[in-house]
A and B are shown apart, each in its own frame.
Chain A
């Protein structure tokens, strides 16, 4: 066990870059138009898309720093906090209408995702080598 203090600052930056990535994606999509290939063309032309892409190296770098210094089992569950945070931002800044069922379901998902990495009481790095993250896809990472 590595007796480091919990890396609050770095985790906050990580969560901010993950949630920020998704916010950039949403804004990017609001700037698109057209169908089919024209949609993707307009997507690639909006800088918001590229801001989202730019968060990926930062996420990767911070994440590798975190797991080098802290037990994965302490850090990983915190990353599922991105789900409720994003929902709050969605409802406040994007005026999304999220009902009670969605909130309860999302909290269940958050708890389940936080637990899902645990095997025999500790996280196996192989399972979590990279969370299901893509430069555009969301993840609880």
Chain B
């Protein structure tokens, strides 16, 4: 297992979920919005700081599809922290994305 790209992808995907959930929480509240927006911005910057080095060790055609995992992490974070519902159809879509990510991971990240 290639540790650095793997950790990089996982961290970036988690940060994306933090960013999206924070921005959503910030837009839906009436108080302490700025805190959420600041958290989202910080998560964004941290994710960006990982993205560029990641591109030095992974091909674009591998790194980009892997970021599809962000949709999964964001959906799960929204369910956990924003009480959003996930329909059966969306779970199926999440399953597809995860399956695809595993394929791209074993086919493209692990040489």
Contact = CB atoms under 8 A, between A and B. Distances in A.
Contacts of A100: 107
B83 to A, nearest CB: 12
A119 B78 CA distance: 14
A105 B102 contact: yes
A115 B96 CA distance: 9
Contacts of A137: 12, 16, 44, 47-48, 51, 67, 70
A140 B98 CA distance: 15
Interface in B64-84: 64-65, 67-68, 70-72, 74-75, 78, 84
B23 interface: yes
B103 interface: yes
Contacts of B35: none
Given A29-B55, A96-B59, A102-B103, A108 B64 contact: no
Nearest to B41: A134
Given A25-B52, A105-B101, A118 B107 contact: no
Label chain A's interface by main secondary structure. Answer: helix
- State which size class the interface on B falls in: 35 or more
A108 B97 contact: yes
A140 B71 contact: yes
Given A26-B60, A28-B52, A100-B107, A112 B96 contact: yes
Interface residues of A, number: 54
Interface of A: 22-23, 25-26, 28-29, 32, 39-40, 43, 80, 82-83, 86-87, 89-91, 94, 96-102, 104-116, 118-120, 126-127, 129-130, 132, 134-140
Interface of B: 12, 16, 19-20, 23-24, 27, 44, 47-49, 51-53, 55-56, 59-65, 67-68, 70-72, 74-75, 78, 84-87, 89-90, 92-108
